[in-house]
Amino acid sequence: MSDYAVVNPATGETLAEYDTLTDAGVQDAIASAHDAYRAWSRTAPADRAAALRRVAELHRERRDDLAAIIVREMGKPLAAAEGEVDFAADITEYYADNIDKITGDTPLDILAEGTAVIRRSPLGVLLGIMPWNFPYYQVARFAAPNLAVGNTILLKHAPQCPESAEALQTIYRDAGLPEGAYVNIRATNDQAATIIADPRVQGVSVTGSERAGSAVAALAGQHLKKVALELGGSDPFILLSTDDLDAAVQAAVDARLDNNGQSCNAAKRFIVADDLYDGFLAKFTAALGEAKVGDPFAEDTVLGPLSSLAAAERLDEQVQRAVAQGATVEVGGKRDGAFYPGTVLTGVTKDMDAYGEEFFGPVGTVYRVSSEEEAIEIANGTGYGLGSYVFTTDAEQAQRIADRIEAGMVYVNVVLADSPELPFGGVKRSGTSREMGLLAADEFVNKKLIRSA
């Protein structure tokens, strides 16, 4: 079987296979993107914005087909797939709407006579290495800001997402971008290394695992290329006080089960004040246990299959290892092929692997704490630092905790609140950069100083 194939995780059926690029094809792709850069970087920002706005429109026009593709590719429930297409369109449109802010000069106050500005210029060809969990959203938040500033894109999607990758390339072509501005490449890892080393390629962005990020960062450093990393997360959900426990539990459930639990910034560790713990655990366990597992095309399905049989097997191994080390399964924990039910673990301690691991699936660990200080200690007790969630009725407490949490994002009394204008990214083992918002457009540009007398 080809490395690039659509294997429906719900059935195990191989639906389509795609050839990987030849080495000559890799060189052609780089040349095409490099040639396109010469014209695209000099295209008027308003014209680049118009093309991106058409990309957003085509996402919406082709919504049904696009959504069905990723349900087949990685098991996302249909409603979530449709929502992802909409979000990708919104992100792309955001950069079209804000093209002047992205490309305009920034005046500087200087100490001497004359003027000085920062002018943002594109760098050139960029390589994006994308994951399977959000086949459209992840691409939009990398491609849209970089195309807006005038860079061109080589896009290596996950091998299990070749159909959605082809659909995206068709959209960018049909939107009127020049040939080579956005090029889908079905490359091997060795070919990706060749691309990173090529002097015509100026940077690389990776969204994926720590292992992948580390390998790419090492290559990028070797060749003095700018690198952006968006990696894993084990986000804490801290609940210290609430006027509505049911609403807090529902927020926790939503934050854990989104995208079949396969989201880097999903809440994964639930840290609950002692006086709320028993009630929270009972309600949270019941809700996860009742989350319907089934056909991702069915309207009432909450959890489709994980992205692959291998992914479900990895998650199951983690849970079984946690149990062997002393954790308790409150509900779930029994794999059925690629399907994995909502699962709750308690009794996880610092000496267990589960304390610092990321569970990439619908598994939540629940901790009891007796103080704000203990909550912060557990929240920061992992090598990850992507997102975090704080639920409290005390506004001052929320700000104290937000200040002390080691994470790139803190959401207070709200979940699933990502938006195109909000920067996304982490610290520690979760990455080094920001995507979305205006900050994303600053990752791969030359912030050129122009000083005039």
Angle CA 165–167–171, to nearest 5: 115
Catalytic, out of 93, 163, 230, 406: 230
Query: What single-letter DSSP state applies at residue 375?
Result: H
Q: Are 88 and 137 in contact (CB under 8 A)?
A: yes
Task: Name the residue with tokens 């007398």.
Answer: 453
Quick check: 426 and 385 in contact, CB under 8 A? yes
Distance of alpha carbon 263 from the chain centroid: 7
List the one residue out of 73, 146, 102 whose CA is nearest residue 307: 73
What are the tokens at 313? Answer: 């097997």
Q: How far is CA 143 from the centre of its chain?
A: 13
Residue 161 falls in the annotated catalytic set: no
- The overall longest dimension of the chain from CA atoms, in Å, is 72
CB atoms within 10 A of CB 223: 14
Q: Is position 230 annotated as part of the catalytic site? A: yes
DSSP code, position 178: P
C-beta separation of 207 from 426 below 8 A: no
Catalytic residue among 82, 161, 264, 358: 264
d(CA 299, CA 170): 29
Catalytic residues, which ones? Answer: 230, 264
